[in-house]
Amino acid sequence: MSISQSRRFFLLVNDIKCSVEIEFRSSRYYLSSSDLDNICMNSDSSFDSESLTAFLNRTQSFRIIPRTAGYCYSHGQFYRPGVNFGSELSENVEHLLSCLVPISEAQKNVL
């Protein structure tokens, strides 16, 4: 997904095209989308009625790959992974798999 010069992109949510604007200020990204807020409402009245974009902006629970090569943004922080990704990713990624360790307890919870 690419972001246009106007900092707008589209998400497809339950077959509905949602326009989302993104802005970088005060060292954080902020999302705004009345489309998302209108279709993603919390139906549980025991929770505060925080909109989806307000939740995402508060928790910063999204990831962005900025134009600056070699960096990514996740949960409110910029990172420079030690592994190349994107166009610099080697076709031989077996070394990545060697970093993973199976967890037997997780097997019990597979749907």
pTM over the 0.75 mark: no
**Do residues 1 and 16 touch, judged by C-beta distance below 8 A?**
no
Q: Cα(73)–Cα(88) distance, rounded to whole angstroms?
A: 18
Sign of the dihedral defined by the CA atoms of residues 17, 23, 28, 34, in that order: negative
Short-list 43, 40, 51, CA closest to 11: 40
Query: pLDDT tens, position by position, for the chain (111 residues)?
Result: 445 456 888 988 889 999 999 999 888 999 999 999 988 766 665 556 788 899 999 999 998 888 887 888 898 988 887 766 566 656 666 566 566 666 666 555 443
